[in-house]
Amino acid sequence: MNDTYAATAEFFDVLSGPYWSSRGPLVGAALGRAKPEAGPILDVGSGTGHAAGVIARAVPRADIICLEPSPAMRSALTSRILADAALTSRVTVLPDKLEDAELPDRLGGVIAFGVIGSLEEADRRSFWKMLAERLSPGAPAVVDVMNIDATQRARPARVAERQVGRQSYEAWLSVEGDGPDRVRLVMTYRVLRDGTLLREHGDEHSWAALTLPALAAEAEQAGLTCTELAKDVALLRL
């Protein structure tokens, strides 16, 4: 498979670490409604494993399934799990895309962060349908969106920075057009020492220009209720 994160996975936590530091308590509270007795908690697009840690702390009795198709991301994910005994005994990592994964008939909860925008409309509707079929009644599915519209543009801006030893790691983001209902997110990662650029890598992702109300409308057509937890985070339930 073509791993779109092969060159940039090493920089992922520069951006996702601060994000999960701020969002972790919100997501953990929502997972208080999880039903671990009904089935495992599914983490779609696990990345380097921040969400798995949030799930494990919020739902101590839950088994967890992590879906991460990127080999580069999965390497970091597995390392994080192996370094934490509380995760090693409870987390199963699958290398599948959502549409290819063999999932249990019943799920006690779901997290999908940094995922919904990557899906085309038909794939999103398949995802809502899967939730409606497999989510235990009352159990939470917590998802996020970027809450942008297709006309939005943004010049390159530094969105994260982290000092690691003698080097500074930076993440830059710009937003370009990509058709009538999508935008193109252009990420650039830089490594500097004393202000001198040592390395630079980038990637681009086509992203659905989806607002929270639009997400709610799609999910409700599948029989799910939608509650806004933050301007970019929603709680879905049967």
CB 119 within 8 A of CB 144: no
Amino acid 1: pLDDT: 64
Instruction: Compute CA 211 distance to the chain's CA centroid, rounded to the nearest angstrom.
Output: 16
Q: Is 230 strand, coil or helix?
A: strand
Q: At what angle do helices 212-221 and 121-134 cross, to 10 degrees?
A: 60
User: Rounded to an integer, what distance in angstroms lies between the CA atom of residue 175 and that of residue 153?
Assistant: 5
64 DSSP β-pair partners = 41, 91
User: Rounded to an integer, what distance in angstroms lies between the CA atom of residue 42 and that of residue 63?
Assistant: 9
The one-digit pLDDT tens for each residue of the chain (238 residues) are: 678 888 889 999 998 988 899 999 999 999 999 999 999 999 999 999 999 999 999 999 899 999 999 999 999 999 999 999 989 999 999 999 999 999 999 999 999 999 999 999 999 999 999 999 999 999 999 999 988 888 889 999 999 999 999 999 999 999 999 989 999 999 999 999 999 999 999 999 999 999 999 999 999 999 999 999 999 999 999 9
Global pTM reads: 0.94
CB 88 within 8 A of CB 117: no
204 DSSP β-pair partners = 186
Q: Which of 109, 117, 227 is nearest to 183 (CA)?
A: 117
Amino acid 147: pLDDT: 82
Q: Which domains does the chain have, with CATH numbers?
A: 9-147+210-237 (3.40.50.150), 154-208 (2.20.25)
Q: Amino acid letter at 67? A: L
